[in-house]
Amino acid sequence: MNILRKKLLPYLLLTPMILVMGVLVFYPITATFSYSLKRWKLTSPGDIHFIGLQNYSSILESDSFWYSFQNTLFILTAVVLLTSVVGFLTSIFLHIEVKWSGILLAIAMLPWALPPYVNGILWKFVFSSGYGFLNKVVIGLGLAGQPVEWLNSRRALLLIVSLVVSWRSIPFTALVCLAGRQSIPGGLYEAARIDGGNRYTIFRRITLPLMLPFVAIGITSASVTAINVFDEIIALSGYNDLGANLLVESYLTTFSFLDFGKGSALTYLVILFGTVLGGFYLRSMNKEVDY
Amino acid sequence: MKRKLISTLLVLSMTAAVAAGCGGKDASDTDGNKNPSAEGTTSKDNSGGEGDHITFMAPDWAIPTEDQLEAFTKETGIKVTVNEVGWDDIRDKMVTASAGGQAVADVVEVDWSWVGEFYAADWLAPMEVSDEMKEDMPTLETFTKGGHVLAIPYANDYRLSYYNTKQYEDAGITGEPRTWDEVYTNCKTLKEKGVCEYPFALPLNAEEKTSTYLMWLAYTMNGVVFNEDGTLNRDSVLAALKYEENLIKDELVDPADKTSSGMDTYKRILSGSANFLTGPTSFVSKSTSEEDCSVIGQIEPILVPGKDAKSDVTMALPEALGVTKFSKNKDAAREFIKWYTSSEMQEALNKSNTAIPTRNSVLKKLIDNGSIQNAGAMLEQAERIASPFPGGIPSYYAEMSHTMYNAIHKMALGELTAEEAYAEMDARIAELSFEEAYE
Amino acid sequence: MLKIQHERILTKVRKKVGYLTALLIFLLLTLGPFLWTFILSVTPEYAMLEKTPGLLPETVTFDNYRELLTADTPRGGLLITGIGNAIKAVCAALTLGIPVSMLTAYTLSRMEFCGRRLIRNLLLITMVIPVMATIIPLYRLFVARQWLNDVFWLSMVYVSSYLPLTTWLMSNYFATFPKELEEAARIDGCGLLSSFLRIILPASYPIILSAALIMFLNTWSQFQIPLILASSLETKPVAIVVSEFMTKDSIQYGLTAAAGIIAVFPPALAALVFRRFLISGMMNGSVKG
């Protein structure tokens, strides 16, 4: 009895989680997978049937998929780089103790609370070509006579999208890194100083390696955010082909062109991509830190 | 054992609830651990109530006042629950719900551009319309597909042209522009004389308004946009595209128009930054409102130009109300629409919501009695409304428009020439119309 | 002697200047966009498109705020209800999410059983699933079970999307408690429950609070889920309300900007009040002893 109880207890404790995740995550994604194997266009309701992997193959053959995939990759790389570097730097900055540290921390968290769509609108105010903030500054300083069109090329657009998304995802990374920084026992630094380490070696030997796992958390969350960027792109450039990533393409296919089968297949490819990436991160997550 | 576990869970959740209560500061005044499902249990999306109770989903500008709704309930005994949803989101919700075989509401907003797909997907229940009404409401044609009227238009929006008379005077140009060529030459003069730097307001961003602009430009210029089989009419559309390309090349269009939202492009006329606009009817009232306009008294609404004289046609982009097929209260829903689009209500809605009537008789009355000011050519233009879609709005409209605005946008950025842009949209539209015909 | 002192002062000054520069950059980049939005929110609508390089409007109007903060105006009413709805959703998500996360994290980090790793990994990997991949089946489920426009089930969906992150953070925290502590309590005759309540719970309030704050901030910014599952007036959160000020023919930048500024206040306030717990929860428990 006792042994059985001990064996079963963990599963019982996990039941709420399993129920929640089962009903609200695993069931829906299974259903979506079954949609992705069907020809299912809402505009021809009489013609819904199983077609195997045809949706997938037609997606993989289309140019627009690979174009959007490149955009997704670009955003992913840029957001991860920006978020981890700036997030790390912000955490170092926030670690410096001053009277108003707490307030600075609260300010740093502000962008996090912004709904992505509102975030996009906020930055559209900055980058838009007519009344945009940046143009007023650029013209005011005499750097350009004409308003600059910031969102007019693929690269610029993607860069700006990445910037805007990073802005929203930096707070979390900074927070995690700050927690990591503050977890490092002060004794380690004292010992290093007694051993005659200079600031650079202390940073390289102690701060950086001990904070890396926390940076990894930040990178993970930034990657997830970056793959799932949607609202910011729409707010900044609408359903412009230039900046479309996989999710925009999937939204268009599903909700705009009403092809549920193909749209579901597209989201599945996004999940697949994320899982490959996630599997890679899972390893780093399962590691633990020793001081 | 089981009991112990349950009590464990209970205590756990209670302690956590207390912690949560402190966690979310604002939480403390609402509730800590009471079951939140007590709030908002009424599921309105699910419609299908008993008796005469309907739900109505529409954007803010279509919502009647409480008094109006009360009067309707008193008159008919039908209760109306209003669900106000942002215009962009209505279609998403309709799609999600209908794909699941559900009525998102009994009465829903139907934009003109959705008619084709809603018809193909079979999501709307047909409406009964009298001949007298068809006569009075030219935009009904847009909502007719396969011989069925699918929705009744309540808000009119057809293309009118506007120009800034003061700038014309300053540049020494006399008389309003009658043809597109005149518009072009006058814009050049305005620019050369330094009266207006970017006189032509032309949406070029990758969005819906960019596609529709091309459609009505081609339509008013050459009287045709699409061939009978749904493909693009090459001569007409290419001419319109070249017209746009030249405007861009001669810098008569603000470079900002390439990326700012179409609405902002239109609004340039309200600040005098643009001289000429062909755009929504709502700009008639906007051009007299101090809140919106800084050049009041200078903007005149005129008939849309054509090729050799004023155009005989104009395109309408009206909004309508329809009854969802999955509704369980279709009769009550139809009754509501009938009331909503009646002459008296159109008059009342103009006053309360500045809606522009879809009945020409009401429009005339409002202009005559001064309710609509600075009307200019508004009424005359309304009588020229026609639809450029020979077979009604196609079911692939969304994808077609997406292809069109992206091609035009690329042309604006200089990545494509007018010919290339035309080839790009023509190829895709031909494919789409072929698919629709043979499926 | 003097020279050394001089040098010390110099490094001090240099440090101070360096810090102030960093502070300036930080404030500019974080608050800049908010500030610009605020300026737009007090600019009259017609002045918004004027092509002047001046950053400040000639006339300032607080009409947008006046309208939005008065509950009687249609828009003000909407915004205020929206904030209320968002707060309701936050409460519900916290009440449901915290216990489940704690239970899960506790089990996954402090118990040995078959399939632990698998369950943990399966849970964590769901982080990569976009809303769009689940929303259509979820909608159908919600229709079938009549859960639409129900704060409880809406919050359940939120919880399902936060669980991986909060569980992971919490289990990292729990994992650092020495096992002996609990064992000692167990030997003293405490059951699982009381050892949890006496040993684990008191030591973990920082992580609970930081998880709560994370959930708060994430719930506040939800958009697509409530749009599809709970967009009735009684349930739609402020994020949706703000986006509705900006559709089709009625783009009102000033109003949208003002609404955005107002909507950021509650979470900002929460972050300000609970800032201390934001980090302490995520630090490793062991170090703090």
Residues of B with CB under 8 A from a CB of A: 1, 5, 9, 91-92, 95-96, 98-99, 117, 120-122, 205-207, 254-256, 258-261, 264, 395-396, 398-399, 402, 405-406, 409-410, 413, 439
Distance CA B254, CA C230 (A): 41
Q: Answer yes or no: are the C-beta atoms of B376 and B182 closer than 8 Å.
A: no
Chain A contact present for C248, CB below 8 A:
no
Chain A contact present for C123, CB below 8 A:
yes
User: Tokens in use for C201?
Assistant: 């719970």
AA letter at C140? R
Is the CB of C275 less than 8 angstroms away from the CB of A109? yes
Cβ neighbours for A118, distance < 8 A, ≥ 6 positions apart: C239, C242, C243, C260, C263
Q: Phi/psi of residue B200, each to 5°? A: -100, 120
Distance CA A84, CA A166 (A): 9
Percentage of residues of chain B with pLDDT beyond 70: 88
The pLDDT tens digits of the residues spanning C215-272 come to: 998 898 888 889 888 877 788 898 888 877 765 555 678 888 898 889 888 888 888 8
Portion 209-248 of A in contact with C at CB < 8 A: 220-221, 224, 227-228, 230-231, 247
**Minimal-distance CA residue of chain B relative to C151:** B37
Contacts of A252 in chain B (CB under 8 A): 402
Interface partners of chain C (CB pairs < 8 Å, 3 or more) are: A, B
| Nearest alpha carbon to residue B94 among B64, B69, B127, B117 | B117
Instruction: Report the residue count for chain A.
Output: 291
Contacts of B22 in chain C (CB under 8 A): 209
User: Tokens in use for C75?
Assistant: 């828009």
* Longest alpha-carbon distance in chain A: 83
Q: Phi/psi of residue C195, each to 5°? A: -70, -35
Lowest mean pLDDT among A138-142, B76-80, B190-194: A138-142
User: What's the pLDDT at A30?
Assistant: 94
Is the CB of B255 less than 8 angstroms away from the CB of A129? yes
**Average pLDDT score over chain C:** 83
| Nearest alpha carbon to residue C278 among A176, A77, A187, B328 | A176
Homologous superfamily of domain range A77-243: MetI-like (1.10.3720.10)
User: What is the helix (H) or strand (E) element at residue B45, kind and residue range?
Assistant: none
Q: Which residue has the tokens 């112990």?
A: B4
Nearest C-alpha of chain B: how many angstroms from C17?
A: 37
Nearest C-alpha of chain C: how many angstroms from B6?
A: 11
pLDDT band for position B36 (cuts 50, 70, 90): very low
Nearest C-alpha of chain A: how many angstroms from C71?
A: 22
Q: Answer yes or no: are the C-beta atoms of B400 and A231 closer than 8 Å.
A: no
**Residue in B1, B92, B395 nearest the CB of A43:** B395
Is the CB of C146 less than 8 angstroms away from the CB of B30? no
**Residue in C136, C196, C227 nearest the CB of B99:** C136
What stretch(es) of chain B map to CATH 3.40.190.10? 53-157+316-382, 160-315+396-437
Chain C contact present for A34, CB below 8 A:
no
**Minimal-distance CA residue of chain A relative to C157:** A24
User: What's the pLDDT at C246?
Assistant: 66
Instruction: Report the residue count for chain C.
Output: 289
Residue A51, Cβ density class (10 Å: 0-12 exposed, 13-18 middle, ≥19 buried): middle
Distance CA C100, CA C167 (A): 9
Is the CB of B40 less than 8 angstroms away from the CB of C98? no
C138-146 mean pLDDT? 87
Contacts of C140 in chain B (CB under 8 A): 100
Choosing among A240, A252, A254, which should be mutated to test the B contact, i.e. which has the most B CBs within 10 A? A240
User: What's the pLDDT at A144?
Assistant: 76
Could you give the angle at the alpha carbon of B59 between the alpha carbons of B56 and B63, nearest 5°? 60
User: Tokens in use for C275?
Assistant: 């800032």
pLDDT band for position B7 (cuts 50, 70, 90): very low
| Nearest alpha carbon to residue A165 among A197, A127, A119 | A119
Buried b (16+ CB within 10 A) or exposed e, B375-397: bbbbeebbebbbbbbebbbbbbb
Nearest C-alpha of chain A: how many angstroms from B432?
A: 11
AA letter at A203? F
HSE of C146 in the Cβ direction (CA atoms, 13 Å)?
Answer: 9
User: Tokens in use for A95?
Assistant: 């670690």
Q: Which residue has the tokens 């009119």?
A: B156
Distance CA C65, CA C67 (A): 5
Nearest C-alpha of chain A: how many angstroms from C257?
A: 8
Q: Answer yes or no: are the C-beta atoms of B144 and B171 closer than 8 Å.
A: no
Cβ neighbours for B165, distance < 8 A, ≥ 6 positions apart: B298, B299, B300
Radius of gyration of chain B, Cα coordinates, nearest whole angstrom: 25
User: What is the helix (H) or strand (E) element at residue C193, kind and residue range?
Assistant: helix C192-195
Lowest mean pLDDT among A260-274, B398-412, C80-94, C126-140: C126-140
User: What's the pLDDT at C84?
Assistant: 93
User: What's the pLDDT at A132?
Assistant: 79
User: What's the pLDDT at B13?
Assistant: 42
Is the CB of C264 less than 8 angstroms away from the CB of A23? no
Nearest C-alpha of chain A: how many angstroms from C92?
A: 15
C140-163 mean pLDDT? 90
**Minimal-distance CA residue of chain A relative to B94:** A255
User: What's the pLDDT at A82?
Assistant: 96
**Average pLDDT score over chain B:** 86
User: What's the pLDDT at B11?
Assistant: 42
Contacts of A29 in chain C (CB under 8 A): 129, 133-134, 137
Choosing among B1, B25, B270, B292, which should be mutated to test the C contact, i.e. which has the most C CBs within 10 A? B25
The DSSP result for chain A, as a single string, is -HHHHHHHHHHHHHHHHHHHHIIIIIHHHHHHHHHHTEE-BTT-TT--EE-TTHHHHHHHH-HHHHHHHHHHHHHHHHHHHHHHHHHHHHHHHHHS--TTHHHHHHHHHGGGGS-HHHHHHHHHHHH-TTT-HHHHHHHHTTS-SS---TTSSHHHHHHHHHHHHHHHHHHHHHHHHHHHHHHS-HHHHHHHHHTT--HHHHIIIIIHHHHHHHHHHHHHHHHHHHHT--HHHHHHHTT-TTT--HHHHHHIIIIIS-BHHHHHHHHHHHHHHHHHHHHHHHHHHH-----
Q: Which residue has the tokens 């259903």?
A: A31
3-class DSSP assignment, residue B134:
helix
pLDDT band for position C49 (cuts 50, 70, 90): low
pLDDT band for position A284 (cuts 50, 70, 90): low
Percentage of residues of chain A with pLDDT beyond 90: 41
The pLDDT tens digits of the residues spanning B238-258 come to: 999 999 999 999 999 998 888
User: What's the pLDDT at A130?
Assistant: 67
Distance CA B109, CA B97 (A): 14
User: Tokens in use for B435?
Assistant: 């698919």
Lowest mean pLDDT among A156-165, A199-208, B312-321: A199-208
Q: Compute CA distances B225 → B240, B395, B398, whole Å.
A: 10, 17, 17
User: What's the pLDDT at B120?
Assistant: 93
CATH, range B160-315+396-437? 3.40.190.10
Which of A115-124, A263-272, C177-186 tops mean pLDDT? A263-272
Cβ neighbours for B63, distance < 8 A, ≥ 6 positions apart: B82, B84, B353
User: What's the pLDDT at C232?
Assistant: 78
Nearest C-alpha of chain B: how many angstroms from A238?
A: 6
Lowest mean pLDDT among B59-63, B435-439, C26-30, C44-48: C44-48
Torsion angle in degrees (nearest 10) through CA of C164, C168, C174, C176: 170
Percentage of residues of chain C with pLDDT beyond 70: 90
Nearest C-alpha of chain B: how many angstroms from C89?
A: 9
User: What's the pLDDT at C139?
Assistant: 86
Chain B contact present for A70, CB below 8 A:
no
User: What's the pLDDT at C57?
Assistant: 78
Q: Is the pLDDT of residue A160 over 90?
A: yes
Nearest C-alpha of chain A: how many angstroms from C73?
A: 22
B201-221 mean pLDDT? 95
Directed axis angle between helix C205-220 and helix C74-110, to 10°? 140
Is the CB of A13 less than 8 angstroms away from the CB of C263? no
Percentage of residues of chain B with pLDDT beyond 90: 68
Distance CA C140, CA B100 (A): 6
B77-84 mean pLDDT? 90
**Residue in C102, C135, C266 nearest the CB of B12:** C102
Is the CB of A183 less than 8 angstroms away from the CB of C287? yes
Cβ neighbours for A174, distance < 8 A, ≥ 6 positions apart: A86, A87, A88, A90, A91, A94, A108, A218
3-class DSSP assignment, residue B211:
helix
pLDDT band for position A286 (cuts 50, 70, 90): low
Could you give the angle at the alpha carbon of C275 between the alpha carbons of C271 and C281, nearest 5°? 115
Q: Answer yes or no: are the C-beta atoms of B222 and B300 closer than 8 Å.
A: no
Fold held by B53-157+316-382: D-Maltodextrin-Binding Protein; domain 2 (3.40.190)
Contacts of B25 in chain A (CB under 8 A): none
Choosing among A11, A34, A95, A117, which should be mutated to test the C contact, i.e. which has the most C CBs within 10 A? A117
Is the CB of B396 less than 8 angstroms away from the CB of A252? no
Lowest mean pLDDT among A3-17, B184-198, B266-280: A3-17
**Minimal-distance CA residue of chain B relative to C234:** B40
Distance CA A230, CA C129 (A): 14
Nearest C-alpha of chain B: how many angstroms from C281?
A: 13
Q: Is the pLDDT of residue B203 over 80?
A: yes
* Longest alpha-carbon distance in chain C: 83
Where do the domains of chain A lie?
A: 77-243
Cβ neighbours for B327, distance < 8 A, ≥ 6 positions apart: B47, B48, B54, B103, B105, B106, B107, B125, B333
User: What's the pLDDT at B2?
Assistant: 43
**Residue in A21, A98, A264 nearest the CB of C160:** A21
Is the CB of B292 less than 8 angstroms away from the CB of C45? yes
Chain B contact present for A32, CB below 8 A:
no
DSSP single-letter state for residue B61: G
**Minimal-distance CA residue of chain B relative to C265:** B26
The pLDDT tens digits of the residues spanning C119-130 come to: 988 998 888 888
Torsion angle in degrees (nearest 10) through CA of B141, B142, B145, B147: -10
Contacts of B36 in chain C (CB under 8 A): 88, 91-92, 95, 151-152, 155
Contacts of B263 in chain C (CB under 8 A): 248-249, 251
Predicted-complex ipTM score: 0.84
pLDDT band for position B19 (cuts 50, 70, 90): very low
Chain A contact present for C283, CB below 8 A:
yes
Nearest C-alpha of chain C: how many angstroms from B197?
A: 11
Lowest mean pLDDT among A153-157, A213-217, A232-236: A213-217
Residue A236 or A1, more confident: A236
Is pTM beyond 0.95 here? no
**Residue in C139, C234, C251 nearest the CB of B96:** C139
